[in-house]
Amino acid sequence: MPRSDWEERTVQANGNRVHVRIAGTSGPMVLLCHGFPESSYSWHHQLDALAAGGYRAVAMDMPGYGRSSKPIQPSDYRVTELVAACVGVVEALGEAQSVVVGHDFGAPVAWTAAWTRPDVFRAVVGISLPFGARGMAALPGDPFGDQRPSVTHSALAGDDAVFYQEYFADPSGVAEKEMEADLRAFVTSGFYGLSADSPLPPEMEGVDLTNLPLEFLIQWIRAAMCVHHGEGFASNLQYPDQLPPWLDQETLDIFIDELETGGMRAPLAWYTNADLNWEVLGPYQGTPVTVPAMFIGGDRDVGTIWSQEARFRQDEYVKDLRRSVIIPNCGHWIPQEHPEVVNTELLTFLKGL
C-alpha cells in the first residue's frame, strides 16, 4: 500500500527531473532501479525492510516512467544516460556513494553503473538478469555481447518471428499501439503471465528451466518471448481469472495509473537502444566488474531462464560475486512475488560489505 511516511522528492539528475521514494533518514544509501513496466513503487516491500535494517533506501522512477521526465529522443534512454541519472540522484541526495540494485531492465542498468562507475556504486545486486557486459541482456549463445544485440535477437527468433525486444523497438510503434489499446489488460496479463502463478505447459512440468540444453532453451525462447508475424506480444501472456496472492488490486492500480498518465512511448524507447548501448559500452568490454556483487533469480523467471550461460560464467567477469540465489516457485516479479526472501538476501549481502 502507499506509505505516508515515505519521503517523496523530485531531484534534478543528468538534466532531467527524477522522482524518488525514500525510506530511512540515515545509514548507507541503497539505490533501487525498477524495470518494465513498473515504477519506484515496485520496491514497496523493500523500502521499509531496508530502512529498518539501517539503510537509506531510495527507489527511483526511472527516466521515462512515473513522475520523472520523459525525454522525447529515444537515444536519451541509452544506458550511459540512465547510469548518469543514477549518479545524479546519488549526488542530489548529498551522497558520495551508494549500493545499486536493479530488477528486469533495471538490472543491466545497475550492473552497468557498477561496471563503469565503481567510484560511485560500491556494490551491486542484479535481480532477474546477471551481468551481460555490453550485450546487457545476457542472452544465450552470446551472453556477454560479443556481437550486436540485433544479430543475436534475429538468431534467437528465427525466420517467422521477432524477439520481443525488437518488437518493442519497432519504429512503426506497433507495440505501443497494442499496449495502449487496452493498457489495463496488458499490464494485468503481463504481471500474471510472467509470474510463477501462471501454469506451465504440461510438457514443461517438472523440468529444470534454469538449466536447459541450448537447443531446448532456444525453442523455449521462441515459444515464450518471441512475437510471431501478424501477432502481438499479448498472445504470449495469460489473463488471470483472479489476481495472484502477491498482487493486490491497489498495487496493480498504482502501476496502471502511472502508465496511463505517462503513456508507453517512453518506457518502450528504452528498447530502441540495444545496438547503441552495445556501441557506447565498447570501451569497457573486457574489463571486469570489480565491486562486491550478488545475483537473485527465480526458477520460473524468464530472465533467469534465458541467462543461464551468463550465470554459469559470471566468475569470468564479476570478480567479487558473493552469492547467486535462485528462488524456487518464483516468476519474473521477484521482489514482489517473494519479498521476504529478497529482503533477507539483500540485508545479508549489505551487512557483509
The structural domains of the chain, with segments of one domain joined by +, span 7-351
Output the average pLDDT for the chain.
96
Cis check: omega of the bond before 63, within 30 degrees of 0:
no
Contact 303, 129 (CB under 8 A): yes
Closest CA to 247 of 183, 301, 198: 198
What pLDDT is recorded for position 236?
Answer: 87
What pLDDT is recorded for position 24?
Answer: 95
What pLDDT is recorded for position 3?
Answer: 65
Query: Whole-structure pTM over 0.75, yes or no?
Result: yes
Residue 218 has pLDDT above 70, yes or no: yes
d(CA 68, CA 64): 6
Residue 33 has pLDDT above 70, yes or no: yes
pLDDT band at 203 (very low <50, low <70, confident <90, very high): confident
Contact 194, 237 (CB under 8 A): yes
160 carries an active-site annotation: no
Closest CA to 241 of 299, 198, 283, 177: 198
CA end-to-end span of the chain, whole Å? 31
CATH class of the region 7-351: alpha beta
| 164 Cα distance to chain centroid | 15
103 carries an active-site annotation: no
Least confident of 62-71, 120-129, 180-189, 203-212: 203-212
Q: Which residues does 201 contact at the CB level (< 8 Å), separation at least 6?
A: none
Helix (H) or strand (E) holding 62: none
Q: What phi and psi, each to the nearest 5 degrees, are found at residue 97?
A: -145, 165
Please tell me the chain's helix, strand, coil percentages from 3-state DSSP, rounded to the nearest 5. Answer: 45, 15, 35
Q: Which residues does 139 contact at the CB level (< 8 Å), separation at least 6?
A: 132, 149, 152, 153, 156, 306, 307
Among candidate residues 76, 104, 142, 197, the one labeled active-site is 104
Q: Which residues does 121 contact at the CB level (< 8 Å), separation at least 6?
A: 31, 86, 97, 98, 99, 100, 110, 113, 114, 291
How large is the average pLDDT for residues 145-155?
96
